[in-house]
Structure 1
């Protein structure tokens, strides 16, 4: 019991000293960023986005080397793919008007872009990555982007884009006064 009474004042003094020093000599940090934004190119875009796929991918990416243990990372990747039609490819030759009939030959649908949504993607787990974690995660995201793009090409996104083009453009042309509207694709 006497040991506690001898140590207790020193413990209280040590804790009080810590709080005094941490408040008195606290380190204030400030962050400053300077940006010089430069618009390098301005392009006119005539692509009509007609369908957006939101995709989730669970990826386990492993890196094997001869002298280090196998490192792996588990990602939950969120991505999106957009199908569109490039309206800038339509010329006068693609449009036929005859009284109350309009025939428009549209360009083939295309995949506008496939991109990873880094804000909503998450690194779920890493194993044995140690000092190579950033590189491993970067490799995993690149692998996910390639895989998602390949899978989107195999999907029905272009068929869905055609369907949506008909559903969106036909009422617009009918609204211009044409009773018979026919939309075709090159």
Structure 2
């Protein structure tokens, strides 16, 4: 008990001194980043994006181990998926023109990409994660991306892409003077 009364005044004096010095002599910090960017590859892209899905996923990701308590993270994930048609696959043989009719054979619609929007996604809560929080959050985002991709593949995004291709391209070809315009998908 006597040791506490001997050490306590010194501890209080030390804490007070720290606050006095830190307020009196503020420590300025600066951050400096240097970047060396290199363009590795340039590609010509002819994909016409025709539909975009914006998706929200609420994900509770748990990590169970034998020797540590169960850790969990709750994420609100924002993602987007885009359906498109690759116009670079169209050749002369895919376009048939007669008098006032144009028949265009378009490539099959595809899912251009599915990506997580990290800027608008949020970590809502973590429990018992302690020193493994970053890894747990990373695992959760990867699981969310897999699940969103699987759900998009099951959705009607390709059907909507096909419908939107007709709606977007038909007026363009009609503007060239063709009264009858038909699209097929190969």
Q: Distance in 2 between matches of 1:23 and 1:137?
A: 36
| Residue matched to 1:42 | 42
Runs of 5+ unmatched residues, structure 2: 1-13
Residue 21 of structure 1 deviates from its aligned partner by 2.7
Q: 1:20, CA displacement in angstroms? A: 5.2
1:124 equivalent in structure 2: 124
Equivalence for 1:112: 112
The residue aligned with 1:182 is: 182
Tell me the distance in 2 between the aligned counterparts of 1:157 and 1:96. 28
User: Partners in 2 of 1:140 and 1:18 — Cα distance?
Assistant: 41
CA RMSD of aligned residues (A): 1.8
Distance, in Å, in 2 between the alignment partners of 1:80 and 1:136 is 22
Runs of 4+, deviation exceeding 3 Å? 16-20
Q: Distance in 2 between matches of 1:77 and 1:23?
A: 41
Distance in 1 (alpha carbons) for counterparts of 2:146 and 2:93 = 37
Taking structure 1 as the reference length, what is the TM-score of the superposition?
Answer: 0.89
Deviations 1:53-104 (A, max 9, x none): 0000000000000100000000000000000000000000100011111100
What TM-score, normalized to structure 2?
A: 0.89
Show the 5 A alignment for 1:60-71. Answer: 60-71=60-71
Q: SS of the counterpart of 1:68?
A: coil
Cross-structure match for 1:57 = 57
Deviation at 1:19, TM superposition (A): 6.8
> 1: distance between equivalents of 2:17 and 2:130?
36
Deviations 1:126-160 (A, max 9, x none): 00000000000000000000000000000000000
Give the equivalent residue in structure 1 for 2:141: 141
Q: Give deviations 1:7-59, integer Å, cap 9, x for gaps.
A: xxxxxxx9x97775334311100000000010000000000000000000000
SS for the counterpart of 1:135 is helix
